[in-house]
A and B are shown apart, each in its own frame.
Chain A
């Protein structure tokens, strides 16, 4: 059974690299890709890198994209527009905190959740109290 792919987008490569390690420990079977920093490795985001990351983890189940700050969203939207039309509708950008949202998404994808379920679980992480 294919699992929903998860893409982590950040202005910082180190930030998503660290998060990726944390999540791989949680469930190595979930397809996970990162797009952190610009093409030159500076702070920022790159639509090209995001597109590549989506393509890496795209399954028949689809993929969710989580991001850190506003301009990452603009580039993620651009990256999705560059995908073939059939893939485009299987990618969801999720309005969620990056760490908690990605954690919840990995758990749900690992359980075999659908694209809608994984996206919803990640989004619900926004309401979760930490204290």
Chain B
């Protein structure tokens, strides 16, 4: 399995569409246990990230991710700006100058993103944050060297989101709510799911061919 610059660009664009469609829903989730700005902030950030990509001039995956991360950093006002920004900048750093990569490289880049999110947000697994979906997703991608099984991916996400829903928030604005955060979706985990879902759809469309990996 290979991943190309064109696919990286297509991913950001499709993720943007999904976030725009679900802007209100993300805001509702955040109003329940946060400060109600997640949908608006992310929608603005990803819209700007796509505008920046449309200007063109980037020909490797690292540059696409790095520019996306820098845009999210500057355009998203809440905690999700520096967290998503760091995730993409870390992926960009891991894939600098690469136009086409093997799946194992993508998995490593996602590992770097997980590490960056953990460091920047000082969250631990189980704190009910986006990290609680990024970690299992990194594990899932590591096991996908011969292709992405969309159904397995979606089952994994459904289970994980349900597990995260039952956690008590220990980081961020939701932690003020104590055990009243239990039973609510974490907005950052849900928006992360949109990102992963669009990525996996793109990966599965490219077919299971292993290219020149053999």
Contact = CB atoms under 8 A, between A and B. Distances in A.
Interface of A: 11, 37-40, 42-48, 69-71, 74-75, 77-78
B179 to A, nearest CB: 19
A70 B73 contact: no
B173 A44 contact: no
Given A44-B37, A44-B41, A71 B120 contact: no
Interface stretch (B14-22, B76-84, B137-145, B196-204): B76-84
B121 interface: yes
Given A43-B37, A74-B82, A74-B83, A69 B173 contact: yes
Tell me the interface secondary structure of chain B in the complex. Answer: helix
B75 A39 contact: yes
Given A44-B37, A44-B41, A70 B79 contact: yes
B93 interface: no
Interface of B: 37, 41, 44, 73-79, 81-83, 120-121, 171-173
B157 to A, nearest CB: 25
A83 to B, nearest CB: 16
Contact of B172 (A11, A43, A46, A70): A70
A68 to B, nearest CB: 11
Nearest to B40: A42
A44 B77 contact: yes
B79 A74 contact: yes
A54 to B, nearest CB: 16
B82 A47 contact: yes
Given A44-B41, A44-B77, 13 more contacts: A37-B77, A40-B77, A42-B77, A43-B37, A47-B74, A47-B82, A69-B173, A70-B173, A71-B82, A74-B79, A74-B121, A75-B82, A78-B82
Contact of A78 (B37, B78, B120): B120
6 contacts: A48-B74, A70-B172, A71-B78, A71-B79, A77-B120, A78-B82
A39 B37 CA distance: 15
Contacts of B44: 40
Contacts of A45: 77
A129 B37 CA distance: 33
A39 to B, nearest CB: 6
B79 A46 contact: no
Nearest to A38: B77
B87 to A, nearest CB: 13
Contacts of B81: 44, 75
